[in-house]
Amino acid sequence: RMVFPAYDQCIKASHVFNLLDARGVISVTERQSYILRVRNLAKACGEAFLKTQAGGLAA
């Protein structure tokens, strides 16, 4: 699985959201939707990482 590239895209999506939000381009309803989508992306990346060999190692 390509966990790290997916996480990079998640960070980029978060950054783009922050830029749009700072400029006031996004309405309140759209804002909630974007936050949920970015949150779901981050959660999926975390879950995918835990399924990898590196994510399963105990520290």
Q: Is the confidence at residue 58, as pLDDT, over 90?
A: no
Tell me the three state secondary structure of residue 42: helix
Q: What is the pTM of this model?
A: 0.81
Positive/negative CA dihedral, 34, 37, 43, 48: negative
pLDDT tens digits along 12-55? 999 999 999 999 999 999 999 999 999 999 999 999 998 888 87
- What are the residues whose beta carbons fall under 8 Å from the beta carbon of 52, sequence distance 6 or more? 1, 3
CA 16 to CA 48: how far, in whole Å?
23
CA 1 to CA 29: how far, in whole Å?
33
Domain ranges of the chain: 3-50
Q: Is the confidence at residue 59, as pLDDT, over 60?
A: no
